[in-house]
Structure formats: C-alpha cells, structure tokens
Amino acid sequence: MSTSVRPSPSKQTASKAADKAAQPARTAKPARAAIYEVRKSPVHGNGVFAMRAIGAGERIIEYRGERITWDEATRRAAERGGPVNHTFYFSLADGNVIDGGRRGNDARWINHACEPNCEAYEDDGRVYIHALLDIAAGEELNYNYALVYDERHTPALKRLFACRCGTPACTGTMLAPKKRSRKAAGAAT
C-alpha cells in the first residue's frame, strides 16, 4: 500500500508565495488612456468623441455586431417599419451585413460627416475605423456613410437621409451620389 504526502493548504500557499518572491518583479503595463467616449452629439443623437489626441492612421475601433445576409437585413428593416439604411447596418464586400444593433459596440454611434475625420476599412470581413487625419481630444469622430440607395434620389428621399454635419462642404444628404450612366454622361458633354 503506497501513501502520498501532500502539503497542507497553508504550506502550499507559503510555498507559492516563496516561489513568486523568487521571480523577478514584473512591472505593470501603464493603463492606456481611453481613446473615445459615447455622449450626446450636436450632430445627431449619440456620438463618439476622442478622449485623447488620435494620430492620423491610428485604428480606433472595430465595427462589431451580428453578421447576417442582406435578405435578413432587409427583412429586419421592414419589420421595424423603416428604410434599410436607417439602421446600424454595415455592408461587407461579400454581400453580407454587420448588424451593429445586435451584439454591436460603440462604433455604431459614430455619426456621418461629409468631410470626415475617420474612415472605415474592411479587412478580411472585419471593419475597422481609422483616423484619416490627426484628431484633437474632445473632437467628434465621424466618417462618410456614403449610403447607396438604388432608387431615384428625390427631394423627399434626400430629406429622409438629411445630413446635419455642418461642414463647409456638406452635401445635405448621407446618400452617396448616384453613378451616372455612360449614356447620361455622354449627353452632358
């Protein structure tokens, strides 16, 4: 019959403490200052504001949410009784959509601007928001939504997607300009 001897819990704790004391001290990483905060925006509803200076090219946040098909996004928008582009949807190159309204993060609160200080990049199916230029602490983060709407851009539709960014080059709408057909472009010359 074999027996094993285990140290008592107090001896184990003392032994671990001695081992830890013998290891070189680790210096704690300095806490990084928060990059942004969400608060009320003078542009529209909530907005995202820089808490510290952000350098041009710096990655700020990933746009997160549930990944769904475009058909599901259209169904959800209709269920809510609103246009598909008045949501937290972010279209992906593969035709799918990130629904930031479900399992989303603070990136969904970044407002539109016609002269943005940020830009969204898609990398391997993930969307990241980067600073286009240096951003000062306290400045609101924004990017150009460039919403694609295939229907005719009527005055009523433009009002529905009105832009309130207030930049000098404001187009008055969050809609991307309609691409002119070759036939229409040729007739204009």
pLDDT band at 103; cut points 50, 70, 90 = very high
Phi, psi of 22 (to 5 degrees): -75, -20
Q: Note the pLDDT of residue 7.
A: 36
The H or E element containing residue 174 is: none
Q: Is the pLDDT of residue 62 over 80?
A: yes
Question: Nearest CA to 127 among 52, 32, 63?
Answer: 63
C-alpha to C-alpha distance for 144 and 181, rounded to whole angstroms: 23
Under 8 Å between Cβ of 51 and 119: no
Say whether pLDDT at 20 is over 80.
no
CA R_g for the chain: 25
Across the strands, what pairs with 135? 54
> Within the chain, what is the greatest distance between any pair of CA atoms?
101
